Amino acid sequence: MDHQEADFPSVRLRRLRRTPALRDAFTETRLDPADLVLPIFVKDGLEGHQPVASLPGVSQHGVASAVDLAKRAAASGVRSFLLFGIPSVKDPVGSSGWDPAGPVPSATRAIREAMGDDVVLWADVCSCEYTDHGHCGPLDDDGQVLNDEAIYGYLRESLAYAEAGIDIVAPSGMMDGQVAVIRNGLDDAGFGDVAIVAYAAKYASAFYGPFRDVAESQMAAGDRRSHQMAPANRREAIREIDLDVREGADVIMVKPALPYLDVVADAARDHPLPVAAYHVSGEHAMLVAAAERGILDLDAATLEAHVAIKRAGADLVITYAAEHVAGLLARP
């Protein structure tokens, strides 16, 4: 080394990576079980639970089984649950969604009775599980979802869930104006403390396939591209998020997560509201499938994926792997 080189300190980024303790001390992004939200699918009339082949590790649950799952997950540190309902009766408008004796209100009451306010209960608000055609609301003669009619169905669902004791409603239909109508309706009915998580940037994604099996929400015909966002669009997501914030959302959500980390980062940068990201069924299933073929290590890949979502700016991660991730985080 000559004199000129010695005048400059050596740059060694590896100094802070040398030992596990150093790496832990300088970790920039930390994931905690409290950051995770576990979806629970409650099926009307089901006793126990029923596994779904296309979504490994995920089952449909009866009410008692849903309570057991919530208790087990809470013991691992996961205390937030997103409830989906699967009714025994479907019709063109999705009226089972606002039945006070339906699967989501019944599960809400049962979990609340068993666990009190030690858990946070979310309810997905949409009609796709409840309509006989699988779309997100009543259809016009051309097979397109009727925006305003769908929204008032969402409001009726939200009121039924609020009456049952839900903490958060999460409208996922991507109808224009849905947050404002639900916020005003909840406030007028005396449920001003019920929060709204807006599926603000929900994309028409190829990664939802297994979800439609477990939620039994397959479409008889058509698609959801008239209301969900095109995967190529990023700036449009900012407009969607801005609208939901102005309409009264308490939390904004991006769905899916991993293919849209740029949108997660945009949302976290541009808005002070908490940001949730949904690690959706296809994202989860492809990691499990790759691990089953010996292509990757499931534990390492699952933890890396969730840390990446948090690093991009998500405060909360909705994930089918919530219990798995909590267990990995508990390891010394």
C-alpha distances out from residue 239 to 13, 181, 243, 276, Å: 40, 18, 6, 17
Residue 231: half-sphere exposure toward Cβ, Cα within 13 Å: 9
CA atoms of 329 and 322, how far apart (whole Å): 11
| Cα of 147 vs its chain's centroid, Å | 22
What tokens were used for 70? 């919530």
What tokens were used for 108? 């809400």
pTM here?
0.94
CA atoms of 323 and 59, how far apart (whole Å): 14
b/e per residue 273-311 (b: at least 16 CB within 10 A)? bbbbbbbbbbbbbebbeebeeeeeebeebbbebbbbbbe
Q: Which domains does the chain have, with CATH numbers?
A: 30-330 (3.20.20.70)
In this predicted structure, what is the pLDDT of residue 332?
Answer: 81
Look-up of token digits 């219990």: 323
| Whether 228 contacts 203, CB under 8 Å | yes
Q: Indicate the SS3 state at residue 296.
A: coil
Q: DSSP letters of 182-229?
A: HHHHHHHTT-TT-EEEEEEEEB--GGGHHHHHHHT---SS--STTTSB
- Tens place of pLDDT per residue across the chain (332 aa): 455 555 666 778 888 999 999 999 999 999 999 999 999 999 999 999 999 999 999 999 999 999 999 999 999 999 999 999 999 999 999 999 999 999 999 999 999 999 999 999 999 999 999 999 999 999 999 999 999 999 999 999 999 999 999 999 999 999 999 999 999 999 999 999 999 999 999 999 999 999 989 988 888 887 888 889 999 999 999 999 999 999 999 999 999 999 999 999 999 999 999 999 999 999 999 999 999 999 999 999 999 999 999 999 999 999 999 999 999 999 98
Among the listed residues 258, 207, 262, 259, the one whose alpha carbon sits nearest the alpha carbon of residue 236 = 262
242 burial type by CB count under 10 A (0-12 exposed, 13-18 middle, 19+ buried): middle
CA atoms of 196 and 67, how far apart (whole Å): 23
List of residues 6+ apart from 226 with CB closer than 8 A:
144, 145
Please list the active-site residues.
202, 255
